[in-house]
A = this chain, B = another copy of it.
Amino acid sequence: MARGLNKVMLIGNLGSDPEMRALPSGQTVTNFTLATNESFKDSSGVLQERTEWHRIVVWGKLAEICNQYLRKGRQVYLEGKIQTRSWDDSKTGEKRYATEIVCNDMQMLGSPMQQQGSNYGNQGGGYGQQQNQGYGNQTSYAPQQPQEQGGYQPSPGMGQGEPEKDDLPF
């Protein structure tokens, strides 16, 4: 069912909380950004850092898992494929492009306690006794508050449609 390879593997930190939407089709999609950091010595031998931002798209069951367990700042491993959407800019008539990583595998890394987003600690409500039984244990996280997902957004048609303005690269 495939005649090629298009594989992306990322380890980085979420730049934003995941945003999950239900599409009219019934599909679930979650979006977030991921920063991958790279350090290198420049031509003068000075240590430089470079951060690359990736726009992540997740579908289906994994979309729900990402929405539930991931938060801004969290370190994750992601696997997926590169996909570039294009549309005609309504203002200029030019072709525009946005490249995304369609994620099909995710591993949470490290421990959630230190990687929480700014308000992570609060959102579990009464989960005071939440304890971390060891690294890598994925079952001890506080479940996310029910989100207001704001009903149905216009369908991206599996990511192919015309993106809204704030759907564009970040």
Contacts and interface: CB of A to CB of B under 8 A. Distances in A.
Copies of this chain: 4
Choose among A3, A86, A92, A169 the residue with the greatest number of B CB atoms under 10 Å from its CB. A3
Chain A interface secondary structure, helix, strand, loop or mixed? Answer: strand
Interface in A101-121: 101, 107, 109-111, 113-115
Contact of A8 (B82, B134, B138, B169): B82
Given A1-B40, A107-B11, A75 B136 contact: yes
Interface in A1-55: 1-13, 35-41, 47, 49, 52-54
Choose among A98, A113, A169 the residue with the greatest number of B CB atoms under 10 Å from its CB. A169
Given A3-B107, A5-B107, A82-B99, 6 more contacts: A1-B136, A3-B39, A4-B136, A9-B9, A37-B136, A114-B114
30 contacts: A1-B136, A2-B37, A2-B38, A3-B37, A3-B39, A4-B11, A4-B13, A5-B10, A5-B11, A5-B12, A5-B107, A8-B8, A8-B82, A11-B109, A37-B136, A39-B135, A47-B134, A47-B136, A82-B101, A84-B99, A84-B169, A96-B96, A97-B97, A97-B98, A97-B168, A97-B169, A99-B99, A109-B109, A113-B114, A114-B135
